[in-house]
Amino acid sequence: EAPLEELVTAGIHSVFMPHSLGHHVGLDVHDYAPGGIGQCLTNIDAGLDVDAACTKTLKAGMTVTCEPGLYLIPALLEESYEIPAKAKYLRKDIIEEFLSEGTEIG
């Protein structure tokens, strides 16, 4: 029950969506486009801690996925439980209930 801004600043969304919102699709299911969807800058290039900063527009004919699912990746969760800035927003008891059902929600 925290304000959205706090959750984003803590990077909570990246714990459950490390893949971002999607990716290009082409000759390979996970086709690589320099910088990502819409020719986005990488986190490092953009100086960001989370997500990517898109600076260009998708063009006609480009195909992308939309991956709204949440992923429960045990290693990523365990790492996040050890980071106080993230751990205070994580309800381990509830997450463990979902983990008992599988690692993908969506």
Tally of CB atoms within 10 A around 80: 22
* pTM attached to this predicted model: 0.59
Nearest Cα to Cα of residue 7 among 68, 87, 69: 87
pLDDT tens-digit map of 3-37: 999 998 998 988 888 766 676 676 555 555 555 55
- The alpha carbons of the chain give a radius of gyration, in whole angstroms, of 16
Give bridge partners of residue 1 from the DSSP assignment.
Answer: none
The reported pLDDT for the residue numbered 32 is 53
Q: How far is residue 30's CA from residue 73's CA, in Å, rounded to a whole number?
A: 20
Retrieve residue 82's tokens: 């050890």
Percent of the chain predicted with pLDDT > 90:
27
